[in-house]
Amino acid sequence: MLTDLKDLEYDELADLLADSGEPRYRAKQIFSWLQKGVESFDEMTDIPKKTRENLLETSFVSTLKIREKYVSKIDGTIKYLFELEDGNCIESVIMRYKHGITICISSQVGCRMGCRFCASTIGGLYRNLTAGEILNQVIFAQKDIGERISNIVMMGIGEPLDNYDNVLKFLHNVNHSEGLNIGYRHISLSTCGVVDKIYKLAEENLPITLSISLHAPNNEVRKTIMPINSRFSVEELLEACKKYIDKTTRRISFEYALIHGVNDSMDNAAELAKRLKGMLCHVNLIPVNKVEERKYDKGSAADIRAFQDKLLSLGVNATVRRELGNDISASCGQLRKKVL
C-alpha cells in the first residue's frame, strides 16, 4: 500500500523523509509542492531525481478530477463535481464574498445521518474521505480558479464529526504555515450534533467556528426531521455547545433551515429564543432548499422575516442566509445524486 503524502501531517512527512536520509528542508519543499496541486513527483522540479524515485516506492500524490463544473451567471458561485481516484464523486462550491473567496467542502462520500430534508444522505454513506481528499478540494479548486481561497466551510456532503480523525488531520494541514496557511478563524465546521465528538473537539482548542445544525427548538420537532436526535437530545446538544463556548470562547453558529409548517411557527421561534438566550451564539436562518425526493417547502419571504424578527425581539442574534448559486443547484448533494 502506497501512502498519499497528503494524508501525512507536516511532521510525519518530515520524519518519513528524515528516515530515508533527506535533509530537513526537503519536507518544506515537498509540502509546498503538494499544495500547488502537482499531479506527479516529476513536477517537483527542485527535488533531486533520486529522491523522487525513492518516494515513488512508498508513496503517491493523490489528485481530483473535475468531472463537472457549473458557474452561476447570477453571482459567480462555482459548483464542482469532483471525481476521486476510485471513481466516487463529491461536491465542492466556491462562493465569492466581499471578505474573500470561500469554499464549501465535503467530508464523506454520502452520509449516514439521515436528515429528512437533506439530499446528501439519500443512498447512505459510501465511505469517509481521507485527509488528503478533503484537502484536495481546496487545492484543486484554487488551482482551477487561480485565486487564493481564504475561507473554508465544512458544509458539503457528509458529517465531519463522523470522520473525526481525518477531518482533524486535514484542519492541521490546511492551517499549516508551510501549506495553504488558512487561519482557523477562517474555517467553519458544521455538525448535525454528534455530542461526544463536540466535547472531543472542544479539547483540541482550535479557534475554528462551530456550526450546529439545530433546525428545531425541541425534541418533538427535531426527532421528526433528524434521526441523530434519538441519540442525543436537544438538551444534551445545547449542554455540549455551552461547554464548547466555555472552553474555546468562540461564538457558536446555529443553522436553522426553515421548513414551512414543520419548524417555522411563531411558537417555535419563541421557544428557540428561550433556549438560546444568553448564549454566545448566532442563528443562521436558511429557507429550506427544495429537494426533489423530499416533501418539505420553504415559507414565504414574509414568514421567514417574521421568524427572524421574533428571535431578534427576544434578544437572539439572527440573520437570513443569502441564497447563492440558485441557477446551478449549488446546495450540496443534489449534483452527485443526479450523476449517480
Question: Closest separation between CB of residue 262 and ligand SAH, Å?
Answer: 12
Kindly name the residue from 91, 133, 159, 255 that is annotated as catalytic.
Answer: 91
Quick one: 107 or 175, whose CB is closer to ligand SAH? 107
Question: Closest separation between CB of residue 36 and ligand SAH, Å?
Answer: 28
Quick one: 41 or 296, whose CB is closer to ligand SAH? 296
Task: Report strand pairing: 89-97 vs 78-83.
Answer: antiparallel
Active site residue 118: no
Quick one: 118 or 335, whose CB is closer to ligand SAH? 118
User: What does the binding site for ligand SAH look like in residue numbers (CB under 6 A)?
Assistant: 113, 115, 117-118, 155, 159, 190-192, 213, 255, 257, 286, 288-289, 291
Question: Closest separation between CB of residue 304 and ligand SAH, Å?
Answer: 12
CB contact at 8 A, 93 and 329: no
Quick one: 155 or 171, whose CB is closer to ligand SAH? 155
CB contact at 8 A, 281 and 273: no
Cα distance between residue 13 and residue 52, in whole Å: 14
Quick one: 55 or 118, whose CB is closer to ligand SAH? 118
Cα distance between residue 172 and residue 192, in whole Å: 22
Tell me the three cell numbers of residue 340. Answer: 449517480
Active site residue 332: yes
Question: Closest separation between CB of residue 154 and ligand SAH, Å?
Answer: 7
What's 57's DSSP letter?
H
Strand segments, DSSP code E, in the chain are: 3-4, 59-60, 65-71, 78-83, 89-97, 100-104, 108-110, 125-128, 151-154, 187-191, 209-213, 252-258, 281-287, 318-320
Question: Closest separation between CB of residue 312 and ligand SAH, Å?
Answer: 21
Of 260, 279, 150, which is closest to residue 212 (Cα–Cα)?
Answer: 279
Q: Which residues are catalytic?
A: 91, 332
